[in-house]
Amino acid sequence: MDEAGVRAVLFDLDDTLVPSGHPAEHAAVARGMGADLGVDPDAFAAAVADTFDERVRGLMADVHHTVRYLARRVGGSPTESQVESAITRLLNFSLSLHAATWALPALESLRKRGFKLGLVADCGAETVAIWPQSPLADHLDAVSFSCQTGVRKPDSGAYLVAAAALEVRTGECVYVGDGADHELSGAEAVGMRTVRFRSRALEELDEGVASDPDPDWSGPTISDLGELVGMIGIPIPREGSASRTFVSGNVVPWGSKRSSR
C-alpha cells in the first residue's frame, strides 16, 4: 500500500470492529421481542427482517418508534411496558456484540501514532441508542451512522460524511471493512485506499463458501487489525480536538461514551 499522506483510518462496524452475530441469534432476539410485545413471535421476526433497509436508512426514527411500529404492523397494540421490555432485549443484545469487540488494542495503537479514526456504519437506531455505552465510543473521533444520514454504503455520501467530520480529504483516508455491500469498491470510488479485514473466526465460518461480498475490489487483506499500524506508516501529528460525530446533517461534539446524548 502507498502509505504517503495517510492521516485517517475509517472502519466498517459489523464483522470489522465487532461481531455481527449469527443470523440465528438475531432471529431469536426478534422472536423474543415479539413475545415481549404480545404478538406472534415469528410474524414479528419476519417484519424485522423485511424492514432492514428502511430501518438502516433511518425511515423509522428512533428505537421506540420502530418497535411500536413493527408491533402494529403485525397486528399488535403493545403497552408502554411491553415496548420497553422489547427495547431492553434488543439493546442488551446489541451491547453484547460491542462488548465482544477485538478492536481496542489496534484502535489505541493507531491513535497513539496520530491517526484520526472514524466509523462508517450501516446500522439501525439501536446502534445509536447503545453507542454511549459502547467500548468503541472513546476510541473514535467521528462516526457516520446510516440511520442518521439516510445514506448506505457503497453510496459515496456515506464515506464523504465521515471524511468531512474528520476534516481530511478522501485521498488521506484508508477504509477498512469486511467487504459486505460492495463497501470497499465504494470507498475506492471516492479516492480512499482500502483494506479488507477478515477475522479468523469469520474465515472459519465461511470456509468452503465461494461467494465474494465485493467482487469488484482487489487489494490487501488482513486477519488482525493490529497489522494496520505497520501497513500505513506514520501520519502528521494529531491535533488535540474533541471527538465528533455526524448527526442530522451537522458535525457536532460527541464527548465520551458516558455522554447522556
Model confidence over 46-61: pLDDT tens digits?
A: 999 999 999 999 999 8
Who wins on pLDDT, 49 or 207? 49
Residue 250 in this model has a pLDDT that exceeds 50: no
Residue 206: pLDDT band (50, 70, 90) is: low
The arithmetic mean of pLDDT across residues 183-206, rounded, is 84
Who wins on pLDDT, 4 or 237? 4
The arithmetic mean of pLDDT across residues 213-242, rounded, is 75
Tell me the H-state helices in the chain: 23-37, 41-50, 52-56, 63-73, 80-99, 104-112, 125-130, 146-149, 156-166, 183-189, 200-205, 227-231
Residue 79 in this model has a pLDDT that exceeds 60: yes
Q: How far apart are CA 21 and CA 25, in angstroms?
A: 6
Q: How far apart are CA 219 and CA 79, in angstroms?
A: 51
Residue 4 in this model has a pLDDT that exceeds 70: no
| Residues above pLDDT 70, as percent of the chain | 83
The arithmetic mean of pLDDT across residues 104-109, rounded, is 96
Residue 212 in this model has a pLDDT that exceeds 80: no
